[in-house]
Every structure is written in structure tokens, then in C-alpha cells.
Amino acid sequence: MFVIVRTITYASLFIGLLLVYLPARILAWLGIVRPAAMGWPQTAGLLIGAAGAVIALSCVCAFAFIGKGTPAPFDPPRRLVVRGPYRFVRNPMYIGAALAVAGAALFYRSIQLFPFVAGFLLVTHLFVLLYEEPTLRRLFGPDYQAYCQRVHRWLPSAHAMH
């Protein structure tokens, strides 16, 4: 039960700051407001953003229920998580988060949010290479190495889809 409380707390802080507050500040700074009418960009943005949110939240749940940990680097899963969205790519949480913000950019028709998405992906890629992967190799050894051979970092492979 305590892992669920920790997970909700850390995920809310991460999601709240990085995926809601900062994009909202960028939009406010630029003077961009909610569109008066719903057109195809808003509909597509909602669908893409919702898909990203579902992916990210399913990853958070997998960390809590399968991994017995949280998305926070200082309180990571105790077990290697290779099920759920992690069957298809090794970093679905970051992909889901980027899709959520990209959906917001499309919804608001804000080209200015796309550099935020690109910056987010660049920072997470560097974080994955420099911290996450070495840490996971150290913690989970051969199991993680076998997982890396089966599942790609960012793009699903044909093997992972079966």
C-alpha cells in the first residue's frame, strides 16, 4: 500500500511540474489561450495527448504493482519491469509523456511547445544513456541485458510486437 502512495506522490510531482506546469507557463508566456472552437487540431491533440497519458500512467502502474517501486530515480522499482508497455519499448513512460505534451501543442496549435517536446526527449535520452541504463545493468545484470537484446530503447521491433 505504501508503494502506491509513494508512486502517486512522485508521479504527480513529475507530471504536475514537467508535463502540466511548465507547458502551461510556456503557453501563458506566449499569450496562447484555449481555442474558441474545436476543430481537427484540437480533436487530434486530445486523442494524441490522451494516448500519451494512458501510456505514461500504465507505466507508473507497472512500476508500482510489478516493480514494487516508483518512477522516481531515488525510489526505483525493486524488480525489473518488462511487462505492460515495457514489452514493446524500454522507455514507454518518456514516450507517453512526450506524446501528451505534443498533443497539447497540437490542441493549442502552438508550434512553440514542440521545442519543449524535443528538449524533453533529448534530456530523457541522455538520462537513459548516462544514468538509467548503467544503473539497470548494475542492479539487474543478465536479466536486463537479455531484455535489452529483445526490446529496443525507443522504437518497437517486430520481435517485441509478437
The pLDDT tens digits for 35-93 are 888 999 999 999 999 999 999 989 988 998 999 888 888 888 899 999 999 999 999 99
Set of cell numbers at residue 134: 548503467
**Alpha-helix residue ranges (DSSP H) falling in the chain:** 2-14, 22-30, 40-65, 92-107, 113-127, 133-150, 158-161
All structural domains of the chain = 2-161 (1.20.120.1630)
Q: CA–CA distance from 119 to each of 43, 81, 123 (Å)?
A: 25, 26, 6
- Band of the pLDDT at 97, cuts 50, 70, 90? very high
What pTM did the predictor assign?
Answer: 0.87
Mean pLDDT over 89-117 rounds to 93
Nearest one of 80, 69, 79, 77 to 144, comparing CA atoms = 80
- Average pLDDT over the chain, rounded to an integer: 90
